[in-house]
Amino acid sequence: MSLRTIATQPFPDQKPGTSGLRKKVGAFRQPHYLENFVQAIFDSIAAPQGATLVLGGDGRYYNRQAVQIILKMAAANGFGKVMVGRGGILSTPAASCVIRKYKTFGGIILSASHNPGGPDGDFGIKFNSSNGGPATETVTEAIFAKSKTISQYRILDAGDIQIDALGNSMLGEMTVEVIDPVNDYAELMKSLFNFPAIKALLAEGFRIKFDAMHAVNGPYAVEILQRRLGAPADSLMNCVPLEDFGGGHPDPNLTYAHELVEIMYGDNAPDFGAASDGDGDRNMILGKKFFVTPSDSLALLAANATLVPAYSKGLAGVARSMPTSAAVDRVAEALNIPCFETPTGWKFFGNLMDAGKVTLCGEESFGTGSDHVREKDGLWAVLFWLNILAVRRQPVEKIVYEHWEKYGRNVYSRYDYEGLPNDAAQGVMSHLQASFGTLSGASFGKYTIKLCDDFSYTDPVDGSVSSKQGVRIIFSDGSRIIFRLSGTGTEGATLRIYLEAYDADISRHTLDAQVVLAELLKIALDISQLRQRTGREQATVIT
Ligand code: G1P
Ligand code: ZN
């Protein structure tokens, strides 16, 4: 076994996006591509000699090969130990849990989240710091800078190491500890929620359906929902993880989780339905023929938090990403706790949680979480809902309607235009930015624009500034239209339009969101010239 230093050339495109570096598998398989990025991480984070790293991923195609490369590079870069999930598997929240529990220097997570997998699909990699959360922008910028000047990387010349049986082995001077990917996470969940109450609810015939979408959360759901909480086996679907997610798009929304949606909207539907994504950090919550928007779900969890043992003493504060609806703001106001508005991406919540300023946070993109880890957490959200249901003993939709009755309804929808030519998408954003002057104060039917700007965020903990985080059009009645370019896509550009209208009138609470938002959508398309500039009539996905 010898340490080799390999000469390499920089790749110009290794800029981490909203959540790490994501590219097609083919890009990652180019000679030196993964290695360059991993060396750029190691060079940027300056881990002390002998430090411990956590390593795992969502099990998608290329996960196993990448694990072997990273282990050999970690050994050649002076790490003392790598804790790797058996089979190279760790869900994103489980990786965060393990980093925190064992106080490691950080971890590397291999995932492209909800993006499709397989040889022609996507792959991704990101570094999480010792708090268990995604590296801050300062760190990801440093990694990108390194990737642009890299000239060599270090790797151990060794055979592949076994990662399929628990226990320790040596790779040069470094210990490789293969850990159970589920156990630490399951123990953490048990410590947060009222498992006996949920168990009793399920034993009384309350029927649930959980869809792991052939992705990483399958084994976690089997252990927690089935083995520990006693849900019958047929409560779980698609719980065997596949390298290509069965050819599907492992994104838990009404479009891609249609198999579950059909069951929940069909005859004899279960009482509660939920799904999670490729790496287990997203969640979708459904009642019988009823969809809970992620923004409402966050608000509901905040309003009901004291029913859960871990949050029984109340919340320090809450946070949401800017495009997420302001439903949780209303709960925060009623609870008299602070509510923070951050740019899109989980990395912005970490500092707030580390500083003890927020307990719960969430995004409209089916992400909800708390300070139990530093990632969003799909199964955690499912268990939170089950805990609330076990205490309140009401149907999901009843709980939501009661919430709207008390706080009003933030009617919400997101329109995604995927695979647009970069220039056209950029053109829409530039056109909007150039229109701020004329738009300010303009009226469209019942809507008058109060403010339009490009969202900028100053982190209240470290003072760092993130600008150009999305165009906001805010109306005098609090309704909003947001435009943003995605930072996670791997093909062309994805433009997102987020629509939100506030409605306190309970007689309108059964209306379909699209009906309520039709006028705002028309305004959004008009002022952005989206159709003319992109030639696209319809959104690719509406959530
Ligand atoms: C998307 C979501 C964002 C989420 C991210 C990672 O990013 O919109 O809320 O944090 O995926 O799951 P985007 O593609 O919009 O940059
Ligand atoms: Zn994810």
Which atom of ligand 1 lies at the shortest distance from residue 484's CA?
Answer: 15
Interval between CA 22 and ligand 1 midpoint (Å): 12
Interval between CA 18 and ligand 1 midpoint (Å): 6
253 lines ligand 1 (CB under 6 A): no
Give pLDDT, residue 351.
93
Give pLDDT, residue 500.
98
130-154 average pLDDT score: 96
Sheet of strand 106-110: strand arrangement: 21-24, 122-128, 106-110, 52-57, 81-89, 174-179, 167-171
| Residue 324, C-beta contacts closer than 8 angstroms, at least 6 positions apart | 294, 295, 298, 362, 363, 364
Q: Which two tokens stand for residue 543?
A: 């959530």
Give pLDDT, residue 487.
86
Task: With a cut of 80, say whether residue 259 has pLDDT above it.
Answer: yes
Catalytic annotation, residues: 113
CA 164, chain centre distance (Å): 27
Q: What is the mean pLDDT of the chain?
A: 96
Sheet of strand 272-276: strand arrangement: 236-237, 208-211, 272-276, 283-287, 290-292
Sheet of strand 493-503: strand arrangement: 443-444, 447-454, 471-475, 480-485, 493-503, 409-420, 541-542
* Residue 448, beta-bridge partner list: 443
399/380 Cα distance (integer angstroms): 19
272-278 average pLDDT score: 98
Give pLDDT, residue 278.
97
CATH superfamily of 2-181: Alpha-D-Glucose-1,6-Bisphosphate, subunit A, domain 3 (3.40.120.10)
CATH superfamily of 409-542: Alpha-D-phosphohexomutase, C-terminal domain (3.30.310.50)
Interval between CA 79 and ligand 1 midpoint (Å): 31
Backbone angles phi, psi at 81, to 5 degrees: -155, 145
Which atom of ligand 1 lies at the shortest distance from residue 363's CA?
Answer: 9
Give pLDDT, residue 463.
93
Question: Is the separation of the CB atoms in 490 and 404 below 8 Å?
Answer: no
Question: Is the separation of the CB atoms in 192 and 309 below 8 Å?
Answer: yes
**Tens digits of residue pLDDT in 440-474:** 999 999 999 999 999 999 999 999 999 999 999 99
Give pLDDT, residue 491.
81
Q: Any idea which ligand is nearest the CA of 18?
A: 1
Residue among 264, 284, 257 at smallest CA distance from 385:
284
Helix 92-101 × helix 378-392 angle, to 10°? 90
Task: With a cut of 80, say whether residue 62 has pLDDT above it.
Answer: yes
365 lines ligand 1 (CB under 6 A): yes
498/431 Cα distance (integer angstroms): 17
80 lines ligand 1 (CB under 6 A): no
- The residue type found at 227 is R
The verdict on pTM exceeding 0.85 is yes
400/500 Cα distance (integer angstroms): 17
**Residue 406: DSSP 8-state:** H
Interval between CA 49 and ligand 1 midpoint (Å): 34
Give pLDDT, residue 19.
83
Which atom of ligand 1 lies at the shortest distance from residue 496's CA?
Answer: 15
Please indicate whether the domains covering 185-407 and 409-542 agree at the CATH topology level: no
End-to-end CA distance of the chain: 52
Q: Are strands 52-57 and 81-89 parallel, antiparallel or unpaired?
A: parallel
- The residue type found at 163 is I
**Residue 235: DSSP 8-state:** G
Which atom of ligand 1 lies at the shortest distance from residue 323's CA?
Answer: 9
Q: Which two tokens stand for residue 92?
A: 């994103």
- State which of 488, 497, 498, 540 you would mutate to test the pocket of ligand 1, scoring each by most atoms of that ligand within 8 A of its C-beta: 488
Give pLDDT, residue 1.
78
363 lines ligand 1 (CB under 6 A): yes
Question: Is the separation of the CB atoms in 193 and 67 below 8 Å?
Answer: no
113 lines ligand 1 (CB under 6 A): yes
Give pLDDT, residue 488.
81
Interval between CA 540 and ligand 1 midpoint (Å): 16
Q: At 122, which helix (H) or strand (E)?
A: strand 122-128
Q: How confident is the model at residue 490 (pLDDT cuts 50, 70, 90)?
A: confident
Give percent of the chain with pLDDT exceeding 90.
Answer: 95
Alpha helices in 193-293 (DSSP H): 195-203, 217-221, 258-264
Backbone angles phi, psi at 416, to 5 degrees: -110, 130
Q: In this structure, which topology does domain 185-407 adopt according to CATH?
A: Alpha-D-Glucose-1,6-Bisphosphate; Chain A, domain 3 (3.40.120)
Q: Which residue in this structure is represented by tokens 């039917």?
A: 445
**Tens digits of residue pLDDT in 108-125:** 999 999 999 999 999 999
- State which of 344, 375, 412 you would mutate to test the pocket of ligand 1, scoring each by most atoms of that ligand within 8 A of its C-beta: 344
344 lines ligand 1 (CB under 6 A): yes
Which residue puts its alpha carbon closest to atom 10 of ligand 1?
Answer: 345
Task: With a cut of 90, say whether residue 105 has pLDDT above it.
Answer: yes
**Residue 246: DSSP 8-state:** G
Interval between CA 377 and ligand 1 midpoint (Å): 14
36 lines ligand 1 (CB under 6 A): no
The residue ranges of every structural domain in the chain are 2-181, 185-407, 409-542
Q: Are strands 409-420 and 541-542 parallel, antiparallel or unpaired?
A: antiparallel
